[in-house]
Amino acid sequence: MIKLNLKFISCLLILLFSSCSDENKKPNVIIIYADDLGFGDVSAYNQGTLNTPNIDRIANKGIKFTNGHSSSATCSPSRYALLTGSYPWRNSKAKISTGASMIIDVNQKTLPKMFKESNYSTAIIGKWHLGLGDGQINYNSKISPGPNEVGFDYSYIMPDTQDRVPTVYIEDGYVKNLDKNDPLYVSFKENFDNQPTGDKNPEMLSMKWHHGHFNSIINGISRIGFMKGGKKAHWSDIDMADHFLNQAKSYITKNKKNPFFLFYSMQQPHVPRTPHPRFKGKSGMGPRGDVIIEADWCIGELYKTLDNENLLENTLIIISSDNGPVLNDGYYDDAVEKIGNHTPSGILRGGKYSLFEAGTKVPFISYWKGITPSKVSNKLISQIDLFNSLSTIVNGRIKTNDSKDLSQLLLNGDGKQREKLILEASGKTALKYKNWVFIPPYKGKAVSTYTNIELGRSSSHQLYNLKTDPSQRKNLIDQEKEKFIELQKIYNKIISN
Ligand code: NG6
Ligand code: CA
């Protein structure tokens, strides 16, 4: 009672002397986005054997979505959808980016622009992977356009992925710690003179490549693409998690007085998996398990920062992943050999790159202290929907056509859900409609030779009833003719719009 009165009186005083306006009540929003973290990798989902106590603590206090999707089964398209509220298959540039120019148009609506319009400070810290510049990039001068040109006030990024050059951080368009006397050169076509590569200099490798990662060697790891110079700017792989975490913590502390939107875009457990020595061997599953434990620890530290700064009651935290899990994604790192009984995809079929459920059904958690109930929700929600939902929550003015306002679902774990969702994997699409999944016929291998993942492709149509068959084992195309026609119609209509 006394507490309440005090709160009331202090609000009155603030009202008298400044403005106890809506602006003060707007929540901070943090999206914590893992890279290739599977539905079964988070122990709160009770699917695998790995332990993620820090994510679990947040998940168990908030809403744990068991039917939450990324838009795509790979990184760049999912990030595109999250940040633009638009389906990536509408944009031919929204493919896995390798040194490409920027995928998001500077005139497009974006999530950070929506927040900025609502007087938020906005930042991305971590993996970007949406392309940079609009042609050949000169890394020795300002790189633009980039995240700052599509709505982020502050950006501290890894340009593409940990397995691609250049292995440097970029802060607000400039390569961090670059020495002008040692310029940085990058090429995805040919090597620079006398630079060691994974295929020619295997003796220099601390982690052997398995497929596709045999170009420039940096820190004993060969990558995709060639680079030369910029030595002082090279990142340390084992310190990357601490580095991004510290940036994120200091951003929160510096911006705690204003509402902020932070996109904390983690690099784990994407390849190359390079846990800090503190986490080495901790999972018993090799580096893949170890970096998930590292990522979980980072999330715990970020949570502590919010707690210490008294921000938990005013911060909506969303945790998810850009696509499903993969074990061997290009390096010999024991991910397959040491997996034991752990099931990164849980009971779901497929994984990263797949049109089956595990390609895009990912951990999806929302938590806002005092607002979200502790709940498990099996309602369908996509990361595309964060755009319109968050816009409603922060009283924003921008909305997009592909995004659905599921703000009630995001805050209460109940209410309106998405009915129809187009899933995407490497340019191929499928429809999820209520409990059903429809996949049109596609040419190509059913199982990827490299990753050993079932890609969801077949020469015939596929139809699955997720209610009775969540692992998509029984193709019902012959038994459920009417359902098939109904879904095909819906699919064609959305795709052609
Ligand atoms: C693929 C890479 C894979 C990974 C992926 C991007 C090869 C053979 N495979 O092309 O290792 O880097 O791109 O992953 O090079 S994502 O999660 O960022 O989409
Ligand atoms: Ca990814």
Handedness of CA 135, 141, 143, 149 (dihedral sign): negative
End-of-domain residue from the set 384, 418, 452: 418
In a domain, 132, yes or no: yes
Q: 312-349, pLDDT tens digit by residue?
A: 999 999 999 999 999 999 999 999 999 999 999 999 99
Do the Cβ atoms of 126 and 94 come closer than 8 Å?
no
Q: Are residues 372 and 455 in the same domain?
A: no
Helix, coil or strand: residue 24: helix
Spacing, Cα 59 to ligand 1 middle (Å): 29
Q: Could you give the 3-state DSSP secondary structure of residue 136?
A: coil
Instruction: Please name the residue whose Cα sits nearest to atom 9 of ligand 1.
Output: 212
Q: Alpha carbon of 316 to those of 311, 351, 480: distances in Å?
A: 10, 28, 42
Task: Examine residue 218 and state whether it is found in any structural domain, yes or no.
Answer: no
Counting as low any pLDDT under 50, the low residues of the chain are: 1-23
Q: Which of 252, 340, 308 is nearest to 29 (CA)?
A: 252
Q: Is residue 442 part of a domain?
A: yes
Nearest alpha-carbon partner for 237 in 210, 199, 276: 276
Task: With respect to residue 124, please indicate whether it lies within any of the assigned structural domains.
Answer: yes
Q: Is 72 helix (H, G, I), strand (E, B) or coil?
A: strand
Q: What is the pLDDT of residues 282-303, one digit of tens each?
A: 999 999 999 999 999 999 999 9
Can you give the CATH number for the domain in which 171 is found?
Answer: 3.40.720.10
How many structural domains does the chain have? 2
* CATH code of the domain in which 428 resides: 3.30.1120.10
440 and 388, same domain (yes or no): no
Instruction: Check whether residue 391 and residue 435 sit in a common domain.
Output: no
How far apart CA 462 and CA 442 sit, in angstroms, is 10
Q: Whose CA is nearest to atom 7 of ligand 1?
A: 212
Cα 93 to Cα 1, 103, 152, 497: the distances in Å are: 58, 6, 21, 18
**152 and 295 fall within a common domain:** yes
Ligand 1: distance of its center to the CA of 172 in Å? 25
Tokens 């993969």 correspond to what residue? Answer: 326
- Residue 209 within any structural domain of the chain: no
168 and 27 together in one domain: yes
In a shared domain, residues 47 and 107: yes
Rounded CA separation 295/227 (Å): 28
Q: What separation in angstroms does the CA of 246 have from each of 18, 68, 282, 488?
A: 33, 29, 22, 48
Binding pocket residue ranges, ligand 1, CB within 6 Å: 35-36, 74-75, 96, 129, 161, 163, 211-212, 224, 270-271, 323, 329-330
Is residue 312, in this structure, part of any structural domain at all? Answer: yes
Q: How far lies 30's CA from each of 112, 130, 357, in Å?
A: 12, 19, 26
Closest CA to 147 of 265, 231, 323: 265
The token pair that represents 401 in the structure block: 């056509």
Residues 436 and 400 in one domain: no
Assess if residue 197 is contained within a domain.
no
CA–CA separation, 50 and 52 (whole Å): 7
| Rounded Cα–Cα distance for residues 387 and 48 (Å) | 31
Same domain, 260 and 289: yes
Category of 249 on φ-ψ map: left (φ > 0), alpha (ψ -120 to 50) or beta: alpha
| Ligand 2 centroid distance, CA of 15 (Å) | 46
235 plus 163 within the same structural domain: yes
- Total residues found in the chain within this entry: 497
Instruction: Ligand 1, residue 322: give the atom nearest the CA.
Output: 17
Spatial separation of the C-alpha atoms in residues 30 and 366, rounded to whole Å: 10
Claim: this prediction has a pTM higher than 0.85: yes
Residues 381 and 343 in one domain: yes
Give the nearest ligand 1 atom to 78 CA. 19
Statement to judge: residues 289 and 436 lie in one domain: no
Last residue of a domain, one of 418, 446, 464: 418
Q: Is residue 86 part of a domain?
A: yes
Are 283 and 289 in contact, with CB atoms under 8 Å apart? Answer: yes
pLDDT of residue 120: 98
Whole-number Å distance between alpha carbons of 166 and 171:
14
Q: What is the pLDDT of residue 47?
A: 96
Asked whether residue 407 falls in the same domain as residue 431, the answer is no
Q: Which domain holds residue 432?
A: 422-496
Q: Which of 418, 442, 461 is the last residue of a domain?
A: 418
- Say how many Å lie between the CA of residue 163 and the centre of ligand 1: 8
